[in-house]
Amino acid sequence: MNSIFMNSKNIFLDTVNSKDYVQLDRLSSIYQSLNNSIKKPFKMILLYGKPGTGKSMFLTKLYHDLCESSNIHLYQTPILDENEFYKTLAQDIFDTKYNDTLNFTQFMKIVKNQEIQEIPVVILDEAQLYSEPLMEKIRLLSDTRSIKFVISLHKTEQEDLIAKEHFQTRIWETIELENASKAELKIYIQKKLMKANCFDTANMFSTNTVKRIYKFTHGNYRDTNKLLYTLFDIYTTYEQHSHIYPLNTTKIPNKFVEMAAIHTGLIHA
Amino acid sequence: MLNIHELEKQWKSYKIKSYLPYAIVIVSLSVIAGIIYSFYPTQPKVKSQHSKKSIPVQHVHISAKKTKVVDTNKTIIQPKAENIVSPEPIVNKQAKLLPSMNFMTNIQHETQLYAQTVHPVQKTAPKKRIRKEVKKKTSTNIIENVRIKEVPTIHKEQKADITIERKETKNDIMEIIHRFKNNNNPALSLFIAKKYYELGNYHQSYNYALITNQINPNIEASWIVFAKSLVKLHKKDKAIFTLKEYINSSHSSSAEILLNKITSGKFK
């Protein structure tokens, strides 16, 4: 049974897909500035923000927009083994396969021997997971201006330290992603639903309902997605057992939002 | 699939928890309000006393206004008129307290006495005042004017007294007796003695004046009420003896005046 609630529920599944990217005013200006920075002779670009602020989605969108026109490579999951990291880069960027081990010196030789017309861009998501020696080598690679790195970090005290130690003296641009405001959150929810032709459920989100959601999620996109997924899951359950609770399709009851927040662990009963 | 029943249970406990602080605040506020209210009933009694005391002040204002009216019409007697008016509040103070004796109907059955005593006092007091004014004045024409203009002012004062009667509660005297029993305050017993005297219940006024004297023998007003009550109870000799003893110890001028009045037969 594909009801409006079931369809709406699936929209908020926590997946990173550039097609699901919702264009908001603030995000589009940040996106444009990142796009411009890539074209500039910066060695490194740092994208940071709290978990769930849309960094991965942002980088995915950037990759999909530029992959056809630029030499750009996205690594969503970190390659923690150093040898594997160099081999992957050599294969993806320079089409050079290495069956044996490839160390930093060997990789630098490969980089220097290449005649590159356009500087390749390497996007490293979750860069806080890379070891400090590897991060140091990434810094040295960026100094050669042969590869441009866009790295994304979680903004924590420890990760700020990593950023300071490795990138403070380099020429780089920093872009911070933040949680959505109340108005942005409303636009985000409604745009996301309307993109999937769920106009009825999009209209159910009044300003008060969004305020309540914001109270629990603080505008964090990941938490919002989780909450809304559970919210529509609750709707679906009640719909299947219609005798339990009469459903109102014009307004979302606070009870449902609170129940979803309890289920997702945003509040504790 | 969600376990919706379990989730509803959790939601209910969440709602209870979220309302708990408000419930605690409301309960604590109501408890505080209850404690404050339990102390509150003592305050109105104090206020009732004050209100009684404030009534004569209102009369003084009224009488002052009236005298001003007289002053505008007269040119020669201005200072005399003021002199005449000034003792009025003292006479009125006695008369103004009379209406509160309505409440004594609950305690005693001497309503007739009350009717006889209250009204004559109110009516005679102004007449006496006018007579005094007449004696003090030399120009007969002007005195006539004074008579004509001051009589209506007296009537207005009487009307004001009637309004005071309406304001007071019938249980006031009982409350004062009850309070006196609780705290033995001589001011209260003197007040009761005065009230009984004004009502014509001289036996009770004698008793309460005696009690007041026992508590505090230095209250002049109490000795005067005591002596007056004795005279009214046809114990003139005892009243004279008491006053003489009190004059010897205190040299009270009021007591001497009263003694002279009793001995000369002016006070019966």
- Report the pLDDT value the prediction gives residue A157, as an integer from 0 to 100: 61
Helix (H) or strand (E) holding A176: strand A172-177
Residue A215 touches chain B, beta carbons under 8 Å: no
Instruction: Tell me, yes or no, if B13 comes closer than 8 A to chain A by beta carbon.
Output: yes
Is A258 part of the contact surface with chain B (CB cutoff 8 Å)?
yes
CB contacts < 8 Å between A and B, how many? 32
d(CA B124, CA B139): 24
Q: What are the tens digits of pLDDT across the range A143-157?
A: 888 888 998 888 666
Q: Give the other-Cβ count within 10 Å of A261's Cβ.
A: 25
Q: Do B4 and A255 touch (CB under 8 A)?
A: no
DSSP H or E stretch at residue A152: strand A148-154
Q: Between the CA of residue B171 and those of B100, B105, B164, B194, what are the distances in Å? A: 10, 10, 15, 17
Is residue A238 less than 8 Å (CB to CB) from chain B? yes
pLDDT at B155 over 90: no
Lowest mean pLDDT among A165-174, B38-47, B107-116, B232-241: B107-116
Q: What's the confidence (pLDDT) of residue A241?
A: 78
The β-bridge partners of A149 are A44, A122
> What number of CA atoms fall less than 13 Å from residue A266's CA on the CB side?
24
Distance CA A10, CA A124 (A): 28
Whether A162 contacts chain B with CB within 8 A: no
Q: Which residues of A touch B14 (CB under 8 A)?
A: 258, 262, 267-269
Q: Report percent pLDDT > 90 for chain B.
A: 14
The answer to whether B4 contacts A233, with C-beta atoms less than 8 Å apart, is no
Chain A residues close to B8, C-beta within 8 Å: 259
Mean pLDDT of B13-35: 93
Q: What is the mean pLDDT of residues B207-218?
A: 90
Q: How confident is the model at residue A4 (pLDDT cuts 50, 70, 90)?
A: confident
Report the residue of A212, A216, A232, A237 to disrupt the B interface, i.e. the one with the largest count of B CBs within 10 Å: A237
Closest Cβ opposite residue B14 in set A234, A238, A258:
A258
What is the per-residue pLDDT across A218-238, written as a single tens digit (0 to 9) for each? 999 999 999 999 999 999 988
Q: Whole-angstrom Cα distance, residue A100 to residue A83?
A: 9
- The pLDDT tens digits for A48-74 are 888 899 899 889 999 999 998 888 999
CA–CA dist B97, B175 (Å, integer): 16
pLDDT higher than threshold 60 for residue B246: yes
Mean pLDDT of A113-138: 86
Q: What is the pLDDT of residue A223?
A: 94
> What angle, rounded to 10 degrees, do the helices at A82-94 and A104-113 form?
10
3-state secondary structure of B258: helix
Provide CB contacts within 8 A for A30, sequence distance 6+.
A58, A175, A177
| Token pair in block for residue B147 | 């008579």
* Closest to B81 in 3D by CA, of B130, B44, B22: B130
Among B3, B7, B12, B17, the residue to mutate for chain A (most A Cβ within 10 A) = B7
Nearest one of B196, B215, B205, B216 to B239, comparing CA atoms: B205
Question: Are A258 and B15 a contacting pair at CB < 8 A?
Answer: yes
In chain B, what residues touch A255 (CB-CB under 8 Å)? 11
What residues in A contact B6, CB-CB < 8 Å? none
Strand ranges of the sheet holding A44-49, from the earlier edge strand across to the other edge: A72-75, A121-124, A148-154, A44-49, A172-177
Both tokens of B185, joined, read 């305050």
DSSP symbols for B34-83: HHHHHHTTHHHHHHHHHHHHHHHHHHHHHHHHHHHHHHHH-SSSHHHHHH
Main-chain dihedrals φ then ψ at residue B49, nearest 5 degrees: -65, -45
* Element spanning A172, H or E: strand A172-177
A98 touches chain B (CB under 8 A): no
Report the distance separating Cα A27 and Cα A182, nearest Å. Answer: 15
Minimum CA–CA partner of B1 in chain A: A237
pLDDT on residue A221: 93
B10 touches chain A (CB under 8 A): yes
How far apart CA A20 and CA A24 sit, in angstroms, is 12
**Alpha-carbon gap, residue A11 to A228, rounded angstroms:** 9
DSSP string, A198-231: -HHHHHT--HHHHHHHHHHHTT-HHHHHHHHHHH
